[in-house]
């Protein structure tokens, strides 16, 4: 697909999911948000979406598919530095996989592990591959779709030192790619990090390899029961799902029923037409003071949902 015919991902996803969702701009105090386009019964699958970008934690880079995060499969091939692909993903994106294979990810992976197993720099590294490939040959990789997401304003003189350090680790990994530093400058990196910081979802994966033989027989039940002992988490950025605002009493549930990075949003209760669709960004069962602190620190706002108002009044 050439650049002249490219349809921004947000526009395409809104059109594909117009039966249940519509996007409202300029909501007072909230910016944008998704609303119900019709009455939605409890249990309805509202939408399913493949992310713009996703990543496994460094510890799973050699056992989860680098494309969809699937944890158990027979790999068709193994690329440089241990990136592996399930058969489905191996049939797609050959040029991207070739670029990925030519990069020494050691410096960036080491930084992420040494700084608390960070995943956001890993997400930026995936976007960096897209941008470099796009700049080189005008391919189909659309890192520009990130511009549709909200972001934190970070001035150059207030860039966190950890972000600067992770940028240098990324550039050390890209040393073998000619012109990468010109293409992937610090301003671009900070812009991507500022968008990932407030839009990334945790992707809960059941790691089948960590289960006993007896447990594996109940795989479908494990997915339903959210067995934390068998779960690892990746990270992903979705374009449409990222338009959902927060509530501590969400009417939309988040799941990954295929045990990949594909997200499924389901109605937690009956939802009326024109009602805002909300998920919880945090543990909504935590005490109200803890919830407010987590939201303010991670997302820059204080929640004013009915649950928070009631709990703050009674405390």
pTM for the complete prediction? 0.86
pLDDT in tens, 243-266: 999 999 999 999 999 999 999 999
**3-state DSSP of the chain:** CCHHHCCCHHHHHHHHCCCCEEEEEEECCCEEEEEECCCECCCCEEEEECCCEEECCHHHCCCCECCCCCCCCCCCEECHHHCEECHHHHCCCHHHHHHHHCCCCHHHHHHHHHCCCCCHHHHHHHHHHHHHHHHHHCCCCCHHHHHHCCCCCCCHHHCCHHHHHHHHHHHHHCCCCCCHHHHCCHHHHHHHHHHHHHHEEEEEEECHHHCCHHHHCCHHHHHHHCCHHHEEEEEEECCCHHHCEECCCCCEEEECCCCCCCEEEEECCCECCCCECEECCCCCCCCHHHHHHHHHHHHCCCCCCHHHHHHHHHC
- Whether pLDDT at 120 is above 90: yes
- Whether pLDDT at 15 is above 70: yes
- Whether pLDDT at 117 is above 50: yes
pLDDT in tens, 136-190: 766 555 667 898 898 888 888 899 999 999 999 999 999 888 778 888 999 999 9
pLDDT in tens, 69-101: 998 766 555 554 557 888 888 777 666 677 777
Q: Which residue has the higher pLDDT, 7 or 118?
A: 118
Lowest-pLDDT choice from 14-23, 44-53, 99-108 = 99-108
Chain mean pLDDT for the chain: 84
Question: Using 50, 70 and 90 to split pLDDT, how confident is the model at 230?
Answer: very low
At 227 the pLDDT is 44
């Amino acid at each position: 697909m050439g650049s002249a015919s490219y349809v921004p991902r947000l526009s395409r996803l809104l059109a594909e999911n117009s039966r249940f969702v519509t996007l409202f701009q300029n909501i007072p105090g909230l910016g944008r948000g998704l609303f119900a386009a019709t009455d939605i019964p409890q249990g309805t699958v509202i939408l399913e979406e493949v992310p713009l970008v996703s990543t496994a934690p460094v510890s799973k880079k050699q056992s989860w598919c680098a494309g969809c995060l699937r944890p158990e499969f027979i790999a068709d091939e193994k690329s440089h530095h241990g990136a592996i692909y399930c058969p489905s993903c191996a049939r797609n994106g050959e040029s991207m996989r070739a670029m990925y294979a030519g990069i020494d990810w050691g410096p960036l992976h080491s930084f992420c592990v040494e700084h608390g197993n960070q995943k956001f720099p890993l997400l930026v590294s995936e976007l960096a591959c897209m941008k470099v490939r796009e700049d080189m040959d005008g391919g189909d990789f659309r890192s520009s779709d990130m511009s549709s997401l909200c972001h934190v304003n970070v001035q150059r003189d207030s860039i966190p030192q950890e972000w600067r350090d992770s940028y240098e680790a990324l550039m050390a990994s890209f040393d073998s790619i000619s012109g990468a530093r010109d293409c992937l400058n610090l301003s671009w990196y900070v812009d991507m990090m500022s968008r990932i910081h407030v839009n990334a979802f945790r992707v809960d994966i059941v790691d089948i390899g960590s289960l006993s033989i007896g447990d594996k027989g109940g795989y479908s039940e494990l997915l339903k029961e959210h067995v934390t002992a068998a779960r690892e988490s990746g990270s992903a950025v979705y374009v449409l799902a990222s338009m959902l605002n927060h509530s501590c009493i969400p009417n939309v549930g988040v799941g990954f029923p295929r045990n990949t990075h594909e997200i499924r949003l389901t109605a937690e209760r009956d939802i009326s037409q024109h009602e805002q669709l909300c998920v919880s960004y945090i543990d909504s069962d935590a005490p109200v003071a803890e919830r407010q602190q987590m939201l303010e620190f991670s997302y820059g706002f204080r929640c004013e949902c009915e649950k928070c108002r009631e709990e703050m009044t009674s405390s």
